[in-house]
Chain A
Amino acid sequence: MPAIVEVLDLYKDYFLEGHVPVHVLKGLNLSFDEGDFVALMGPSGSGKSTLMNILGCLDRPTSGQYLLGGDDVAHMSDDELSEIRSTYLGFIFQAYNLLPQYTVTENIELPLVYQGVKLDEKTKARCEALAEMVGLGTRLDHRPLQLSGGQQQRVAIARSLVNDPHVILADEPTGNLDSRTSVEIMQMLQELNRSGKTIIMVTHENDIAAWARRVVRLRDGVVESDVRNDEQPITAAAAH
């Protein structure tokens, strides 16, 4: 399987008060294959979200390379990064991040608006089919505040799929949900992965990480461990 996401010697520094540098990511080397399902774990502050933001083209590394589908993303313009997000990536957030003034259908179709696609019957049919797939076929005209957290996260999953992304990035998708609903969401993600989607997910919980095929642990900005759930652990040094 070819690597769809690859980071080489990735560094990320933040600058506090202008000059004091905080080294958050310290030379990461990671390679995720197409069709993989990766759980990113690690203690709070270890740099998981920072890495996800870079992988999601929302932020740029201080140094190092990020190859997405073989292309180096580091030197792209803001507009080009927006286009990559809109065509290549799907996002699922811990806080669902739906737009409260929009209906379920409108929330799902939002990424298409930014693709410059003309919204018509066909796109509408796709959005409604996605809503049905996540079990919300009867709630198309509901607004997010009329839905439970689990239902909102399903809408977010449908939204992340509407542009047929190569990679789905989920930062603590079950962080706000109870265990039963979490299981439903994970089943859904597993189903997606089985049908070919690459998923990179951050989680704090071992039983959530257990749904993934591969678990990468970060600590203080470096890879602490990297194991395949069905295999023996592989060490950080051997990961690449």
Chain B
Amino acid sequence: MNINDIPPAPTPVKGGGGFGPLKFLKAVGLAVRSLWLHKLRSLLSVLGIVIGTSSVIALMAFGEGSMKDALDDIKRQGATNIVVRSVKPPDDSASSTNSKSMVAAYGLDSRDIARFQTFGKSITTMVPMRVFPSEARYLERMHNVRMIATTPDYSDVNKIQLARGRFFTVDDEENRINNCVLGAATADRLFPFEDAMGKTVFCRGDKYLVVGVASDRMPTGGTGGSQAAEDYNNDMYIPLSTANQYIGSKVSIRSAGSRSAEQVDIYQVTMTIDAEVDTKAGRQTVKAIGDQIKRLLEKHHDKKDWAVTIPLDRLEDAERQQERFTSLLVLIASISLLVGGIGIMNIMLATVTERTREIGIRRALGGKQRDITAQFLVEATVQTTIGGLIGVVVGLFLVFVVPVAPGAAAWLTQQTGLADTAAWLRTIKLPAQVNVPSIFLAVGVSVGVGVLFGWYPARRAAKLDPIEALRHTA
């Protein structure tokens, strides 16, 4: 074949070469091929990136998971609620103690309710509750319950889920009917074998017809201070008016083993504020009303025999904690990505030295400095991006495996007969919630690290003297 029979050469593009977008995929393909020649080395050199991105994804997920846990907890309590409780004043020694008996009277009463009512429409529901620790009985079975006398709104405000039956109604309340709703544990203890519905439970000398049973629920976490953890499962709910009629509006509660008794009129009032919890304005509304309630109580109560709890405060605590956690995470991630970046720079410098001859050939055949820069920059970036993607996979793997790990370990220890350890393992909860933006962030940062740390080696490659490079023997 003669040279003149060869299909003609294409017309060169003036100012061609360089790094057009059309060539990008091709360049990536070539980079992958060069890296494939040194699979293990490429993989090891991006280990820092893999560790960095996977830890970001996993830790973000666990942080998010516990945040979501806290949020759910707060939502169970009602995020726009304000809870006012009676608390025993710190110095209940003399004044309020009724001299004839050893009864300490303190706390909220119906006058406070009337004061709260002045807020009008901004409080959508107001649920007062009285609490009587009591013994509930059915036949020969007995259970210590927290008998709660309240209004029908209690069910909504406290997000009571019913397993069967209904909560008591406005009708029950108005007519002072002896209906009751049992908490899950209460129902379980009193009626282990039969259906509780329609049965009659004895409590404080009266009979109550079971009209509903609540489903089992997670106790809300306590915040310490004024807000105690609440375990709804041992409750028994009756209409407030019924309690006022049959038990009386003033009741002394004698706690076991104590000579003194306490008289608390209203144990707690839960108010739901008309506000959107997801908006800043809504949160401000809740806070403002909370402050007003505190001032009102301060004005009318001589002693601090009340406490105001705003679950929303906990939400903000949780958010602050999340922020602290995130900044710690950013620190860890930056350090590992810095180490990863230096790893890449190191390997790219070695690669440039190793491929000096190749650089000389490319320059002799018409490659411009920017072609060489682009080639090595793409190679570094492809490497870190692959590292980032591997990190995402590893991170997601951790996110899905770690939460079930204690359960699996518990199962194993159970098999080997270590029941205690198994039980302990079962209490470990590692909630995880994949944070989707963190995935994009991790990959994005990996790309950035490649560009940043690949730049210097790539420039160094481009600036090599072509003749020196061609003469290089490797």
Chain A residues engaging chain B, CB cutoff 8 angstroms: 53, 56, 58-59, 78-79, 82-83, 85-87, 91, 93, 97-99, 101, 110-119, 122-123, 125-126, 129-130, 132-133, 159, 161-164, 191-192, 195, 197
Contact = CB atoms under 8 A, between A and B. Distances in A.
Given A114-B17, A114-B362, A122-B10, 6 more contacts: A82-B363, A85-B364, A115-B17, A116-B15, A133-B1, A163-B366
19 contacts: A53-B467, A78-B369, A79-B368, A82-B368, A83-B17, A86-B16, A112-B10, A114-B16, A114-B17, A116-B13, A116-B15, A117-B16, A126-B7, A129-B1, A133-B6, A164-B9, A195-B2, A195-B3, A197-B3
A145 B33 CA distance: 17
Contacts of A99: 358, 361
Contact of A125 (B7, B34, B364): B7
Given A79-B368, A87-B366, A116 B12 contact: yes
Nearest to A115: B12
B1 A132 contact: yes
Nearest to B6: A129
B4 interface: yes
Given A86-B366, A114-B362, A123 B10 contact: yes
Shortest beta-carbon contacts, A-B, top 6: A116-B16, A86-B366, A116-B13, A164-B9, A114-B366, A115-B12
B40 interface: no
A191 B15 CA distance: 32
A32 B259 CA distance: 123
A111 B366 contact: yes
Interface string B343-379: 0000000000000011011111111111100000000
B457 to A, nearest CB: 19
Contacts of B1: 129, 132-133
B367 A114 contact: yes
B217 to A, nearest CB: 64
Contacts of A83: 12, 14-17, 366, 368
A115 B13 contact: yes
A86 B467 contact: no
Interface of B: 1-18, 20, 22, 26, 33-34, 37, 357-358, 360-371, 466-467, 470
A58 B364 contact: yes
Contacts of B16: 83, 86, 114-117
A117 B10 CA distance: 7
Contacts of A97: 357, 360-361, 364, 470
A112 B17 CA distance: 9
Nearest to B463: A78
Nearest to A192: B3
B147 to A, nearest CB: 82
Contacts of A191: 2-3
Contacts of A112: 9-10
Nearest to B22: A118
B18 A91 contact: no
B17 A126 contact: no
A197 B2 CA distance: 12
B365 A110 contact: yes
B17 to A, nearest CB: 5
Contacts of B11: 117
A99 B358 CA distance: 7
B13 A82 contact: no
Contacts of A118: 10, 22
B5 A129 contact: yes
B8 to A, nearest CB: 7
A114 B365 contact: yes
Nearest to B357: A97
A87 B10 CA distance: 10
B351 to A, nearest CB: 13
A160 B406 CA distance: 66
Given A129-B6, A130-B6, A161-B3, A82 B366 contact: yes
A79 B18 CA distance: 10
Contacts of A117: 10-13, 16
A234 B391 CA distance: 72
Contacts of A87: 12, 366
A159 to B, nearest CB: 8
Given A79-B369, A91-B364, A116-B17, A133 B12 contact: no
